[in-house]
Amino acid sequence: MVNGESQQLKCRECGATYPAEPIYVCEKCFGPLEVVYDYEALPRPLRGAIETGPKSMWRYEALLPVHRDREIDLAPGYSPLLHAGRLGRRLGLRELYIKNDSVNPTWSFKDRVVGIAIATAKRFGFEVAACASTGNLANAVAAHAARAGMRACVFIPHDLERGKVLMSGIYRPTIVEVEGNYDQVNRLCAEIAEEHRWAFVNVNLRPYYAEGGKTLGFEVAEQLGWRAPDHVIVPVASGSLLVKIHKGLVELHQTGVIPSVPTKVHGAQAAGCAPVANAFAEGQQQIRPVKPHTIARSLAIGDPADGRYALGVARETGGRILSVTDEEIVEGIQILAEMEGVFTETAGGVTVGVLKRLAEEGVFGPDETVVAYITGMGLKTAEAVEDAVTPPVAIRPTLADFESSVLSLV
């Protein structure tokens, strides 16, 4: 299969172009750089090339910035798209779907972006993989670097959930707990990347890394029978994923694979860290940074790098960006588990909370196709729901105990 391995980066603000190197800001205007593709060079028919590809995100290799290397690939992606009949009936939606992207090598969507970034780091000859992380990214970098035989150093805020720290530690990276919040960790990593030749997946490799998010747009379109949904609900941290899901759908349209993109792109944030939702509600163009305070740690970015672009995509497509409280987040986790059998982390609770709000506000038509992105697995944030689950009923191993204590409960 012919590959779309790109040789160019382009500034999203002024359009200046650069050769494909480990750089991420425009020298002329300090705008962020993005990978550009030569669509003329794509395999034809593109849809056929995709459908015969591997059952992972690498089936979309032609629209990604780097080749798959089977020796280091952990095969992220190709996660289930579930028709959510029970939750849909409760919300008045016949065509509600859950994109369950907690089903990934390290149990979050970050395996997609990191799969691309580590393959790119190898291509550029880096020896150390690194990241600034709210937890899930560190898990993915540690695992993918281990398989690629690279040293890894992951930087996290000091107050992360135990499960996320453990899930990084098992792959034996160096874990650096920084006394500060994510935004401070991120600034430190940008400084280190200036001085040391390390592959910071979401700093100096960010243009490549971010492209992995497109595969969550590609996959949903393919799983719906090659069409774009009417609505998507995407959790927003830096805003990159939201922007790239939309870019993925637009690319499939531009290359003639799907007929149109009617999709309204909605964003979901936690009230305790809602800089993008605030700007949306106030009709602002600029994002005012906030100090995060929420149980949705994986979305706790107070100064989001792609916030302004996420805002633009939501506005241009007719979507909304809303925020929900910590109570609504826990309720969202609970509803999704109880009604659809999917246990998600706090970020997924944010998505379900916003889905519910949008449904209550009458944003969806009853027959419209709505896709909610569930991006991480529940055990990672066990602390958030410990008080919400009913403890087990303890009995002696006798039929009498069963009948007196259990029967009336079930």
Ligand X SMILES: *Cc1c(COP(=O)(O)O)cnc(C)c1O
Under the binding rule (CB under 6 A), the answer on residue 110 touching ligand X is: yes
Please tell me the distance from the alpha carbon of residue 210 to that of residue 227, in angstroms, as a whole number.
Answer: 23
| C-beta separation of 408 from 136 below 8 A | no
Lateral strand order in the sheet of 128-132: 174-178, 151-157, 128-132, 199-200
Taking the least distance from each CB to ligand X, the nearer of 46 and 108 is: 108
235 binds, among Zn ion, ligand X, none (CB under 5 to 8 A by kind): ligand X
Binding segment for ligand X (CB under 6 A), chosen from 16-24, 25-33, 40-48, 103-111, is 103-111
What residues contact 73, with CB distance under 8 A and at least 6 apart? Answer: 56, 58, 115, 119
Under the binding rule (CB under 6 A), the answer on residue 269 touching ligand X is: no
Alpha carbon dihedral 389, 390, 394, 397, in 10-degree steps, equals -90
13 binds, among ligand X, Zn ion, none (CB under 5 to 8 A by kind): Zn ion
Contact code string over 181-220 relative to ligand X, x by CB under 6 A: ----------------------------------------
Contact code string over 277-306 relative to ligand X, x by CB under 6 A: ---------------------x--------
Q: What angle do CA 104, 89, 388 make, to 5 degrees?
A: 60
Q: How far is the CB of 14 from Zn ion (least distance, A)?
A: 3
| C-beta separation of 168 from 175 below 8 A | yes
Phi, psi of 407 (to 5 degrees): -50, -40
102 binds, among ligand X, Zn ion, none (CB under 5 to 8 A by kind): none
237 binds, among Zn ion, ligand X, none (CB under 5 to 8 A by kind): ligand X
Question: Count of CB atoms within 10 A of residue 390's CB?
Answer: 6
Among 136, 181, 215, 381, binds ligand X (CB under 6 A): 136
Taking the least distance from each CB to Zn ion, the nearer of 26 and 236 is: 26
Compute the half-sphere exposure of residue 28: CA atoms within 13 Å on the CB side of its CA.
10
| C-beta separation of 24 from 206 below 8 A | yes
Total residues binding ligand X (CB under 6 A): 16
Q: Which has the closest alpha carbon to 221: 180, 191, 262?
A: 262
Q: How far is the CB of 186 from ligand X (least distance, A)?
A: 11
Under the binding rule (CB under 6 A), the answer on residue 239 touching ligand X is: yes
Among 56, 100, 106, 108, binds ligand X (CB under 6 A): 108
Please tell me the distance from the alpha carbon of residue 116 to that of residue 111, in angstroms, as a whole number.
Answer: 9
Please tell me the distance from the alpha carbon of residue 256 to that of residue 203, in angstroms, as a whole number.
Answer: 32
Q: How far is the CB of 134 from ligand X (least distance, A)?
A: 7
DSSP string, 317-331: HT--EEEE-HHHHHH
Query: To which residue do tokens 């990934």 refer?
Result: 104
User: Of residues 335-364, which lie at the interface with ligand X (CB under 6 A)?
Assistant: 345, 347
Summarize as ranges the residues that interact with Zn ion (CB under 5 A).
11, 13-14, 16, 26, 28-29, 31
11 binds, among ligand X, Zn ion, none (CB under 5 to 8 A by kind): Zn ion
14 binds, among Zn ion, ligand X, none (CB under 5 to 8 A by kind): Zn ion
Return residues touching ligand X (CB under 6 A): 108-110, 136, 235-241, 298, 345, 347, 375-376
